[in-house]
């Protein structure tokens, strides 16, 4: 049984050595509200094509991993209620039980690599969670980090959300030998905010420089991917006072509801979207579009080498 179905356009682009960009589906099913998610899905595929690459949105539908979705399949991902959020560990059970699902960063990276795609544009990366109030420590660490350490894919994201332990996340990536490179920044971004307090060792300022790093990294020993940290566009950065208040209220909400694990990010995003009056939605869309555009530029440059 073939569990990975690659769309003909994606298959042809890979065979021709053309740049291809993997896109996750969790941002569509869990990160954005109905209606807006469909518009963003179309916009993401459009900016990839405009940059000279081919988009490959990934999801699990009808018991198969789909690499490259047609219009009807994207409609299903954006309209379905209760679509399961699938990390890498969940792929086997979902396929066996023919459960439709949306892929996270970890599962999208794994599927992209299996399909021969080496560039992936997304919004934010998972990381090490801070302990909730009343707890001294947390064992809640996103599978995204292990995926980056084990899968040779470039992931372009706007860092991690500030509800996470950014310092511990960066330490873990260093321990796992994952290069973290800032794009036009010397500090790690914090999703809605352009900068966190944490400095980065490496910086690039053009898509071509980023492609140079990827090209060189592929030739050195090891199997880790690369994280390219691209800050949210300046005009969409959230006001820090508003951000800090939303974050404090969001953490309190998580504690009151006893939310843990994979449910933390969707609940927190929903709180930000509702309490900010839509400001965070605009920010979320702007940063993922910027990241996917940059990923496509890099993929197009790499395809010419």
Give the DSSP letter string of 91-103.
HHHHHHTT--EEE
Q: Is position 249 annotated in a ligand binding site?
A: no
Could you tell me the CA-to-CA distances from 17 to 20, 118, 190, 254 in Å, in that order?
A: 9, 12, 34, 46
Q: Which residues contact 254 (CB under 8 A, 6 or more apart)?
A: 132, 264, 267, 268
Distance CA 105, CA 120 (A): 9
With CA atoms as reference, report the closest residue to 119 among 299, 287, 290, 288: 299
* φ, ψ for residue 34, nearest 5 deg: -55, 145
With CA atoms as reference, report the closest residue to 118 among 45, 53, 205: 53
Q: Is position 144 annotated in a ligand binding site?
A: yes
Q: Is position 180 annotated in a ligand binding site?
A: no
Q: Is position 252 annotated in a ligand binding site?
A: no
Predicted local distance difference test score (pLDDT) of residue 247:
87
User: What's the sign of the alpha-carbon dihedral 86, 83, 236, 128?
Assistant: negative
At residue 129's C-alpha, the angle toward residues 127 and 133, to 5°, is 165
**pLDDT tens for each residue of 275-287:** 998 899 999 999 9
**pLDDT tens for each residue of 92-124:** 999 999 999 999 999 999 999 999 999 999 999
* Stated pTM of the model: 0.94
Show the low-confidence residues of the chain (pLDDT under 70). 1, 131-139, 261-262
C-alpha R_g of the chain: 18
The DSSP secondary-structure symbol of 201 reads S
Name residue 96's beta-bridge partners: none
Ordered structural domains, the chain, with CATH: 4-302 (3.40.1790.10)
Residues involved in catalysis: 24, 161
Predicted local distance difference test score (pLDDT) of residue 29:
93
The DSSP secondary-structure symbol of 127 reads -
Predicted local distance difference test score (pLDDT) of residue 259:
80
User: In terms of residues, how long is the chain?
Assistant: 305
With CA atoms as reference, report the closest residue to 57 among 101, 89, 83, 21: 21
**pLDDT tens for each residue of 211-237:** 999 999 999 999 999 999 999 999 999
Could you tell me the CA-to-CA distances from 53 to 22, 49, 57, 63 in Å, in that order?
A: 10, 5, 13, 28
Predicted local distance difference test score (pLDDT) of residue 139:
66
Segment (H or E) for 209? helix 207-217
Three-state SS for 298? Answer: helix
Q: Is position 85 annotated in a ligand binding site?
A: yes
96 CB-side CA count, 13 A? 5
Residue identified by tokens 């490179």 is 181
């Amino acid at each position: 049984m073939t569990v990975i179905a690659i769309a003909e356009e994606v298959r042809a682009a890979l065979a021709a050595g053309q740049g291809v960009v993997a896109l996750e589906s969790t941002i569509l099913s869990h990160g954005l509200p109905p209606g807006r998610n469909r518009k963003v899905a179309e916009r993401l595929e459009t900016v990839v094509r405009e940059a000279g690459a081919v988009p490959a949105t990934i999801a699990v539908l009808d018991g198969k991993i789909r690499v490259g979705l047609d219009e009807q399949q994207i409609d299903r991902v954006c309209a379905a209620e209760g679509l399961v959020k699938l990390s890498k560990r969940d792929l086997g059970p979902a396929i066996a039980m023919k459960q439709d699902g949306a892929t996270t960063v970890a599962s999208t990276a794994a599927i992209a690599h299996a399909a021969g795609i080496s560039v992936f544009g997304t919004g934010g990366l998972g990381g090490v969670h801070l302990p909730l109030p009343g707890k001294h420590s947390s064992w809640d660490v996103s599978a995204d980090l292990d995926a980056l350490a084990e899968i040779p894919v470039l992931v372009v994201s706007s860092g991690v959300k500030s509800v996470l332990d950014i310092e511990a996340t960066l330490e873990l990536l260093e321990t796992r030998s994952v290069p973290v490179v800032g794009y036009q920044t010397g500090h790690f971004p914090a999703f809605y905010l352009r900068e966190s307090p944490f400095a980065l060792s490496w910086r690039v300022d053009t898509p071509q420089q980023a492609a140079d790093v990827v090209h060189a990294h592929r030739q050195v020993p090891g199997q880790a991917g690369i994280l390219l940290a691209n800050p949210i566009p300046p005009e969409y950065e959230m006001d820090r006072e508003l951000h800090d208040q939303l974050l404090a209220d969001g953490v309190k909400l998580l504690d009151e509801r006893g939310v843990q694990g994979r449910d933390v990010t969707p609940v927190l995003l929903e709180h930000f979207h509702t309490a900010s009056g839509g400001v965070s939605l605009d920010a979320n869309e702007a940063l993922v579009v910027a990241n996917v555009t940059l990923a496509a530029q890099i993929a197009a440059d790499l395809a010419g080498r």
